[in-house]
Amino acid sequence: MHLAKSGIRVLGIAESYSGREQSTLAGIVMRKDLRIDGAAFARVTVGGMDATDAVIGIVTDLARRDINLIMISGSVIAWYNIIDPAAVQDATGLPVIVTTYEESEGLAEDIRRH
């Protein structure tokens, strides 16, 4: 990792869910000086199991060696299509931070029901 480099880069990934059969993941590479330095997109299946592969695909599609960290906005997207941050880290070799914006009592019962 190049922490002292003035142009440290983070890949931020967020979902745009529209309630259809597919949802879109957008990945933006941002430098430490807040300049956007790249972008990639992927589609995931609503209710599917392809979100982790889609995140890894975004990193692969960017084909960059200067990304220092991946930040993901939520790990349960597109109607329970779950991103596995450990698998993303293993596949990319990059640290992964997943954020959430609402406290949750858990999803185990909802996942079992659906």
Residue-wise pLDDT tens digits, 52-83: 999 999 999 999 999 999 999 999 999 889 99
In a domain, 37, yes or no: yes
In a domain, 2, yes or no: no
Provide the domain count of the chain. 1
pTM of the model: 0.89
Per the model's pLDDT, the better-predicted residue between 114 and 48 turns out to be 48
**Position 114 pLDDT exceeds 80:** no
Q: What is the pLDDT of residue 35?
A: 94
Q: Which residue has tokens 């142009």?
A: 7
CATH code for the domain of 42: 3.30.2170.10
Q: What is the pLDDT of residue 52?
A: 98
Residue-wise pLDDT tens digits, 4-56: 566 799 999 999 987 689 999 999 999 999 999 999 999 999 999 999 999 99
In a domain, 1, yes or no: no
Within 13 Å, how many C-alpha atoms sit on residue 4's CB side? 0
Q: What is the pLDDT of residue 41?
A: 96
Residue 54: domain span:
9-113
Annotate the chain with three-state secondary structure: CCCCCCCCEEEEEEEECCCCCEEEEEEEEEECCCCEEEEEEEEEECCCCCHHHHHHHHHHHHCCCCEEEEEEECCEECCCEECCHHHHHHHHCCCEEEECCCCCCCCHHHHHHC
**Position 2 pLDDT exceeds 90:** no
Contact 14/41 with Cβ under 8 angstroms?
Answer: no
In a domain, 106, yes or no: yes
Measured CA to CA, the distance from residue 22 to residue 50 in angstroms comes to 11
In a domain, 3, yes or no: no
